[in-house]
Structure 1
């Protein structure tokens, strides 16, 4: 049985606890006590969340944990002397030390990061860089694993992080099973951007959302505004007007953004040749995709693959 200590501080977002669901369902789905989960605080008293829901906790104690996770907060809170002392002990006895969102500040305050790579929520990247300019911050990643230090960008990314832990501990089959129970994506890469084209567009109406979902499922074949208008049940003129009003961009620009997202993911996570990526994501040919990458991303697609390979080799 592996022990997990999850540190909470007053004002924590309830969503941050979702990461623990991975361990809970690993236990229940196997009917075994694979993980022993402890909620921790510096004095072991009930800790209020941002919504004033109180959580019963235990104090840090002296019992070592296999994995320590410092949960996030809605703001950057000072790292208490007790937490610093606990982190110092954990650095000597724990296999993994992890953080979600602002929890990375506690790891940095404790001097545990050094030259290791980390991430945090995009809202707090500037403050982290200002306070700890020496840190190797990978600001656009949803989670980063560098040796014993595991960091997640935000609360939902904590689920991706703990699924990765589960896979490391008990294999991919159980991790996939738990992901299905939680109805979340499995193997969402840590290198995936914190920002997505769909989130940036943020359409309000069901019709425009349906059209975007259709486009995302059919990137290889969607070629015109008429295709999306048909999916939305509108005339091309009505659709173009409504789409621009809700997303602030033209349908053609939106489709390109979705294709860039999909192509970037394929390039970073697979070994498909660039011409195959261009074809599968609807660009048609690699030169058209290359021009789009340089215009929007600032780099050709081959440079992204080289960067991903370098990061993989750095972990070895």
Structure 2
């Protein structure tokens, strides 16, 4: 069996799970195959700009090897609050760029996308990062196509993942690509995680960036949130915004990138999401309270936005 070198790049104040999550996936794949008498397919190590202990943001120090000259089969770049300082290290960025060219595939976990983007390798690519950093990534690197809800994205040899535990999802996908679905599923079972997680990271976040107070329509969004049970036609929204209907629709789309109808659906789904997780109210009552009218209409909208049913969301996130 081919031996694959996996290097996980860390730095000061990296998120420790960005490093250890993927490492455990590869270690578990090795363990399963060794038990069958098959040689371990992965040789994984943590690397950093300087060899020795590297303190993570949690306080746990990781013992790293020096940056290798030998090409990786897979290079994985961790994220964390230290990613900004790491992105400003010209020698490290140059090493990633050079090393990535020779590696079979390159991946970033969580905000590691910022460090990978600093090399220019992600230019023009579809990418994802932690849900709370997607807007910042798009602003810093406007040439990237940032998708806020994906768990991970593959673009040729380049892979990016969402926040923290999504690094496990990404590593399982890498094992599946290398060794097949059956083995990846065994690893997922051993780690007690999904092989392919249902839904996107919107399940774990407040996805409504259009509700930010500094938005031009922030006050309108707050007003919509207070009138969800009522009919909200364009004429009423335009009047609330003190604009003509035509001008309102044009300016709203230009500001938010979506139609008013889509925004109302998202605000209603967000309200339903909170009620599902924070209360024991029946789904039918939540549907009426959030302006969906019927349970089936709520279900269709919830599936469209969150990629799971209201009941499945409640089972997963209710306290």
Q: Among 104, 120, 139, which residue is 1:95 paired with?
A: 104
Give the match for residue 86 of structure 1. 95
Residues 129-188 of structure 1 deviation map (CA, whole Å, 9 limit, x = unaligned): 111112101111111111111011111111110000001001111101111111111122
Confirm whether residue 118 of structure 1 aligns to residue 127 of structure 2: yes
SS at match of 1:77: helix
Cα distance 1:254–1:137, how it changes in 2: closer, same or farther (>3 A)?
farther
What is the RMSD of the two structures over their aligned residues, measured on CA atoms? 3.0
Distance in 1 (CA, whole Å) between partners of 2:168 and 2:277 is: 30
Give the match for residue 237 of structure 1. none
Distance in 2 (CA, whole Å) between partners of 1:89 and 1:135 is: 20
Q: Among 18, 22, 26, which residue is 2:21 paired with?
A: 18
Alignment of 1:270-285 (within 5 A): none
Confirm whether residue 145 of structure 1 aligns to residue 148 of structure 2: no
Distance in 2 (CA, whole Å) between partners of 1:169 and 1:245 is: 39
Give the match for residue 269 of structure 2. none
Give the match for residue 47 of structure 1. 54
Unaligned runs of 5+ in 1: 201-242, 257-281, 299-316
Cα distance 1:27–1:254, how it changes in 2: closer, same or farther (>3 A)?
farther
CA contact (8 A) 1:90 1:97 kept: no
CA contact (8 A) 1:114 1:135 kept: yes
Confirm whether residue 77 of structure 1 aligns to residue 76 of structure 2: no
Give the match for residue 7 of structure 1. 9
Cα distance 1:18–1:246, how it changes in 2: closer, same or farther (>3 A)?
closer
CA contact (8 A) 1:160 1:187 kept: yes
Alignment of 1:104-253 (within 5 A): 104-188=113-197, 192-196=199-203, 247=278, 250-252=281-283
Give aligned pairs, total. 225
Give the match for residue 208 of structure 1. none
Distance in 1 (CA, whole Å) between partners of 2:170 and 2:79 is: 14
Give the match for residue 28 of structure 1. 31
Give the match for residue 234 of structure 2. none
SS at match of 1:57: strand
TM-score by structure 2 length?
A: 0.64
CA contact (8 A) 1:75 1:102 kept: no
Give the match for residue 59 of structure 1. 66
Cα distance 1:245–1:30, how it changes in 2: closer, same or farther (>3 A)?
closer
Cα distance 1:150–1:292, how it changes in 2: closer, same or farther (>3 A)?
same
CA contact (8 A) 1:19 1:155 kept: no
Distance in 1 (CA, whole Å) between partners of 2:195 and 2:186 is: 9
Cα distance 1:111–1:247, how it changes in 2: closer, same or farther (>3 A)?
same
Unaligned runs of 5+ in 2: 207-273, 288-293, 306-319
TM-score by structure 1 length?
A: 0.64
Distance in 2 (CA, whole Å) between partners of 1:167 and 1:244 is: 37
Cα distance 1:297–1:109, how it changes in 2: closer, same or farther (>3 A)?
same
Q: How far is the alpha carbon of 1:82 from its aligned partner?
A: 2.4
Distance in 1 (CA, whole Å) between partners of 2:285 and 2:73 is: 45
Distance in 2 (CA, whole Å) between partners of 1:163 and 1:69 is: 13
